[in-house]
Structure 1
Amino acid sequence: MEIHDNLRVNMARPKRFSWSKFFVIILAFVIVIGAGLAIYAYLALRPMAKAESNVQAVVKQKTQLTNLHDMTVDYRDGSTYAVIGSENGKEKVAIIHGKSSKVKVFDFGNGMTKVQLKAKLKGDYQAKKIYSANLSEYQNALVWELSYQGKDGSLNYLTLDYKNGTVYRAVNGL
Structure 2
Amino acid sequence: MEIHDNLRVNMARPKRFSWSKFFVIAPAIVIVLFAAFAFYAYLALRPMAKAESNVQAVVRQKTSLSNLHDMTVDYRDGSTYAVLGSENGQQKVAVIHGKENKVHIFDYGNGLTTAQIKQRLKNDYQSKKIYSANLSEYQNVLVWEISYQAKDGSLNYLTLDYKTGTVYRAVNGL
1:23 is displaced (CA, Å) by 3.0
Show the 5 A alignment for 1:103-118: 103-118=103-118
Structure 2 equivalent of residue 170 of structure 1: 170
1:168 is displaced (CA, Å) by 0.3
Residue by residue over 1:118-154, the C-alpha shift from the partner in whole angstroms, topping out at 9 and shown as x without a partner, is 0000000000000000000001100000000011110
Structure 2 equivalent of residue 98 of structure 1: 98
Q: Could you tell which deviates more after superposition, 41-50 or 25-34? A: 25-34
Cα separation, 1, equivalents of 2:152 and 2:8: 83
Show the 5 A alignment for 1:1-174: 1-2=1-2, 8-174=8-174
1:43 is displaced (CA, Å) by 0.9
Residue by residue over 1:98-125, the C-alpha shift from the partner in whole angstroms, topping out at 9 and shown as x without a partner, is 0111000000001000000000000000
Amino acid at match of 2:69: H
SS in 2 for 1:128: strand
Cα separation, 2, equivalents of 1:159 and 1:7: 90
RMSD of Structure 2 on Structure 1 (CA): 1.4
**Cα gap change, 1:58/1:10 in structure 2, threshold over 3 Å: closer, same or farther?**
same
1:5 is displaced (CA, Å) by 6.7
1:24 is displaced (CA, Å) by 2.1
Cα separation, 2, equivalents of 1:9 and 1:138: 87
How high is the TM-score relative to the length of structure 1?
A: 0.95
SS in 1 for 2:59: helix
How high is the TM-score relative to the length of structure 2?
A: 0.95
Identity %: 82
